[in-house]
Amino acid sequence: MTKKPNEMTIVEAARALRARELTVRELWDACAEAAEAKNPELNAYLEIFDSDERAIEAAQVRIDTEKESAPLLCGIPLALKDNILLEGKVASAASKMLEHYRATYDATVVQKSKEAGALFLGRTNMDEFALGGSTENSAFGVTKNPHDISRVAGGTSGGSAAAVAAHMCIAALGTDTGGSVRNPASFCGVVGLKPTYGAVSRSGIIAAVSSFDQVGPLAKTVEDARILFNALRGQDDMDSTTIPDGLYAKKKEVRTVGVPTHLFAGALDADMLEHFTTTVEGLGLKVKEIELPSAKPALAAYYIINFAEVSTNLARFDGMRYGHAARGETLLDDYVLSRTEGFGPETRRRILLGTFVLSSGYIDAYYKKAVAAREALTREFDEAFQEVDIIATPTMPTPAFTIEAKADPLAMYLEDAFTVLANLTGMPALSVPMGMVERGGKKLPVGIHFTAPHQAEEVLFTTGQAVENSR
Amino acid sequence: MATVEEVKKLAALARIKIGEEELGKFTSEFDAILAYVGQLEKLDLPQGRGGEKPTLRNVMREDGEPHATGAYTQKLVEQFPARQGDALSVKQILSHD
């Protein structure tokens, strides 16, 4: 049985397009039809775009003329997270604050995708302003997990992950602040990469936590994630935090995998640990036990920094120049009403917590302590990488949970224990499916998580492909 | 720990209004979250160790290569909630009474 075009990977679709077994138009239609058919149930997309005839035609011409030398992304329909600007389209960050905001320019990642000939199917659902871990904080309804619609798709890039998993696109872009690409990748059974901090430009990304945010691909295979990463990466004049190639020493082959087992006690379901252990053993690498003493308190540090930067980044939304603009008696009323009506509960909660941890009486006890903890953690990772080439944990402590199961905000935060480490250290990390576990009679995917030193994404891809090949 | 008054004060600083019905819930959630992140306070960490290579650095560039005047004006003014021509209309901030 042959695959439907929308079920293909980037590699498969690129091959079929070049072999003339498939036209760009047919590929687009297959993805768009699947997106339209499944979206009422899953709510992965906030908007499915009309087809851009000129872009489809141009991609076809390019494949016909450039053939093998055309970029692999040429003619490939991608989904875009709703916090990535695509000129002329709404970019709302799933917030009422930006419900009607239209992007005035292209994000650098969009520009690069366009230059490679990629097409955009629509904008995907997310937690409001990328704050959450389940896409339940979207102002426009939760995204449901394609494997079990009573469960969340993860977050904050839940819409992108669900769209890839349900073949409503070929691949997607998300953003990762504390696991927002890797968490939904694990819950939906797809591959998700959080690149090295500074590897991919954030020009045109709606900021959440500027010292953590990175754009990352969600894809059906590790090879597809690599293709997207290589198309998007690179230093950018429009983002001064982007880094040049070779800033960090190049990593060679992978021989030893480090496992911080001390982090798993009491945190993992038994079948999660079993899958993890089997997968690590199947890599054929030397396995070494490592200690990361700062990793447990790191989650607290992560949230302090998250609150602090969210409260400052979202201070720009005041109802004056763009976004939700409510009007009251005085100018102060205008600000307060716009912000109160525009932001959802979790966003307001984090802004207030950020205001607290940065206030003069508490900044030493909270924010400065968190920054010191972050530095200590980074040193521990650096030291660990003297002895091992890659570090493995499960991506999430659990498979996807049921909708509203984590109504307590703190319970939701604790889900991020493994993923936040890579955002705190700025190191790249990859989630790859490692198998299925059963919950409530449904089989649910779970991911394994690898972290490598700065700029060692290739090490992640090699190891991720070893996981794919062993399954 | 957090009191309703403190939460109200933070809300005022952040230019956000928390309704009376929400205040109790927010305050108890604050307590739980601050108790959790407060574990860092007890942690013994080296602060501000001197002499290390900084991991963060400023990146500056020379001013120059401006875009053409007005190139983005129309796109930007279209987002204004209220305007007069290309100017953004806001409330009067000084009163005369």
Which of these CATH numbers, 3.40.630.10, 3.90.400.10, 3.40.50.1820, 3.90.1300.10, describes A5-232? 3.90.1300.10
Q: How many residues make up chain A in this entry?
A: 471
Residue A131 has pLDDT above 90, yes or no: yes
What is the DSSP track for A147-178?
TEEEEE--SSSHHHHHHHHTTSSSEEEEEESS
For residue A319, the surrounding DSSP H or E stretch is none
CA distance A385 to chain B (A): 17
CA distance B44 to chain A (A): 9
Residues of chain A with C-beta less than 8 angstroms from the C-beta of B7: 352
More confident residue, B47 or A366: A366
Q: Tally the C-alpha atoms within 13 A of residue A1's C-alpha that lie toward its C-beta.
A: 3
CA distance A121 to chain B (A): 23
Radius of gyration in angstroms for the set of CA atoms belonging to chain A, rounded to a whole number: 21
Q: Are A370 and B36 in contact (CB under 8 A)?
A: no
Render pLDDT for B4-23 as a digit per residue (tens, 0 to 9): 999 999 999 999 999 988 89
Q: How many beta carbons lie within 10 A of that of residue A168, not counting itself?
A: 31
Q: What is the pLDDT of residue B50?
A: 43
A234-249 per-residue burial string, b: 16 or more CB within 10 A, e: under 16: eebeebebbbeeeeee
- Enter the DSSP assignment of A316: G
Using alpha carbons, select from A110, A120, A118, A302 the residue that is nearest to residue A206: A110
Query: Cα-flanking dihedrals φ and ψ of residue A51, to 5°?
Result: -70, 140
Task: Classify burial at B36, counting beta carbons within 10 Å of its beta carbon; exposed 0-12, middle 13-18, buried 19 or more.
Answer: middle
Please give the model's pTM, rounded to 2 decimal places.
Answer: 0.96
As given in the structure block, the two tokens for residue A172 are 């997607």
Render pLDDT for A283-325 as a digit per residue (tens, 0 to 9): 999 999 999 999 999 999 999 999 999 999 999 999 999 999 9
Query: Cα-flanking dihedrals φ and ψ of residue A52, to 5°?
Result: -95, 95
Rounded to the nearest integer, the mean pLDDT of chain A is: 96
Using alpha carbons, select from B78, B45, B88 the residue that is nearest to residue A377: B45
The CA distance from A9 to A220, in Å, is 6
Domain borders along chain A are 5-232
Residues of chain B with C-beta less than 8 angstroms from the C-beta of A366: 37-38, 40-41
B8 → chain A, closest CA residue: A352
Considering only the C-alpha atoms of chain B, give the largest distance between any 2 of them, rounded to a whole number of Å.
59
Residues of chain B with C-beta less than 8 angstroms from the C-beta of A355: 10, 13-14
In sequence order, what are the beta bridge partners of A53? none
Residues of chain B with C-beta less than 8 angstroms from the C-beta of A380: none
Pick the residue of A211, A312, A339, A355 with the most B CBs within 10 A to test the interface with B by mutation. Answer: A355
Handedness of CA B89, B91, B93, B97 (dihedral sign): positive
Render pLDDT for A253-294 as a digit per residue (tens, 0 to 9): 899 999 999 999 888 989 999 999 999 999 999 999 999 999
Q: Are A395 and A418 in contact (CB under 8 A)?
A: yes
Chain A CB within 8 Å of residue B74 CB: no
Count CB pairs under 8 A between chains A and B. Answer: 127
Q: What is the pLDDT of residue B47?
A: 55
The CA distance from A166 to A168, in Å, is 5
For residue B33, give the nearest of A104, A345, A409 by CB distance: A409
Q: Are A138 and A164 in contact (CB under 8 A)?
A: no
Chain A CB within 8 Å of residue B33 CB: yes
Angle between helices A53-66 and A24-42 (to 10 degrees): 140
Q: How many residues make up chain B in this entry?
A: 97
Chain B CB within 8 Å of residue A362 CB: no
Lowest mean pLDDT among A351-365, A454-468, B51-65: B51-65
Q: Are A44 and A169 in contact (CB under 8 A)?
A: no
The CA distance from A145 to A133, in Å, is 13
Q: How are beta strands A442-451 and A390-394 bridged, if at all?
A: antiparallel
Query: Cα-flanking dihedrals φ and ψ of residue A218, to 5°?
Result: -120, 125
For residue A320, give the nearest of B30, B43, B90 by CB distance: B90
Chain B CB within 8 Å of residue A15 CB: no
Using alpha carbons, select from A259, A254, A248, A171 the residue that is nearest to residue A216: A171
With an 8 Å Cβ cutoff, are A339 and B15 in contact? yes
